Amino acid sequence: MTTTIYGIKACETMKKARSWLEAHGVDYAFHDYKAAGIERKKLEGWVKKVGWEKLLNRAGTTFRKLPDADKEGLDEAKAIGLMLEKPSMIKRPVLETGRDLLVGFKPEDYAAKFA
């Protein structure tokens, strides 16, 4: 099973998630979507699995700084466009383990997945 964690290197939540994986001996690849971007097809696949509402980080600074016009009338297409344009608006981490996808970091969710 290939495990990839997607996020931003400097994010504190990412650091916690990566530390958890390392402490529990989980091999993983790291994809920094702020530096390397994210493919539309990948993002659309995530949206199909968990919904754009779960992926879009509305609490983050990047989203909060958007003009009101960009925040209004949000739907799947608009949210995907925003996340592609500014990947830091994608909630993090996104952990992909073959068929499963975990969004955000909760130690109990990781423990259930890798137990």
Q: Which residues are catalytic?
A: 11
Quick: pLDDT tens for 28-80.
999 999 899 999 999 999 999 999 999 999 998 999 999 999 999 999 999 99
| Cβ atoms of 1 and 98 closer than 8 Å | yes
> How much of the chain, in percent, has pLDDT values that exceed 70?
99
Tell if the pTM clears 0.95, that is, is over it: no
Question: How far is residue 75 from each of residues 71, 93, 104, 109, 110, measured CA to CA in Å?
Answer: 10, 22, 21, 28, 29
